[in-house]
Amino acid sequence: MSDCLFCKIIQGDIPGDKVYEDENYYAFNDINPQAPTHFLVVPKKHIDKISSMGKADQELIGGLFTIAARICKQKSISDFRLVINNGAGVGQSVFHIHLHVLAGRAMGWPPG
Ligand code: AMP
Ligand code: ZN
């Protein structure tokens, strides 16, 4: 999608601090980290938010978690928090589905 920030990062039009890439997924460090480790895993396919995904996207979205766990294992990170914001009211600011992976500090619950 031409005016999507994350599509531009995936395509290399805007620089991103890449952590991982394969045919379907891209992961990069968050520009405003909320923990010592904070990266985002995104599908290369543009889907704006979880509530827009169709049944055909189930496997693709599920793969975000597999990729996140694999990257954490490679980084020897055992405890991590996974977050997906859906909608501006809960903090979604970039409308291309992304899984936040946060680690490296104690975290409270419930989240703010
Ligand atoms: P959300 O608020 O859930 O939509 O998350 C969007 C995330 O994208 C925020 O944590 C931002 O810090 C992050 N972000 C925004 N612009 C960039 C960028 N150019 N490179 C990396 N992360 C970004
Ligand atoms: Zn996009």
Find the domain containing 30 and state its range: 5-103
- Asked whether residue 111 is assigned to any structural domain, the reply reads no
How far CA 79 is from CA of 60, 70, 105, in Å, comes to: 23, 13, 9
- Asked whether residue 109 is assigned to any structural domain, the reply reads no
Q: Which helix (H) or strand (E) holds 61?
A: helix 58-74
The residues lining ligand 1, judged by C-beta closer than 6 Å to any ligand atom, are 5, 16, 28, 30-32, 85, 91-94
What's the whole-model pTM score? 0.98
Task: Tell me the pLDDT of the chain averaged across its residues.
Answer: 97
How does pLDDT run across 48-71, given as a tens digit for each residue?
999 999 999 999 999 999 999 999
- Asked whether residue 16 is assigned to any structural domain, the reply reads yes
Q: Which atom of ligand 1 is nearest to the CA of 15?
A: 19
| Pairing label, strands 37-43, 25-29 | antiparallel
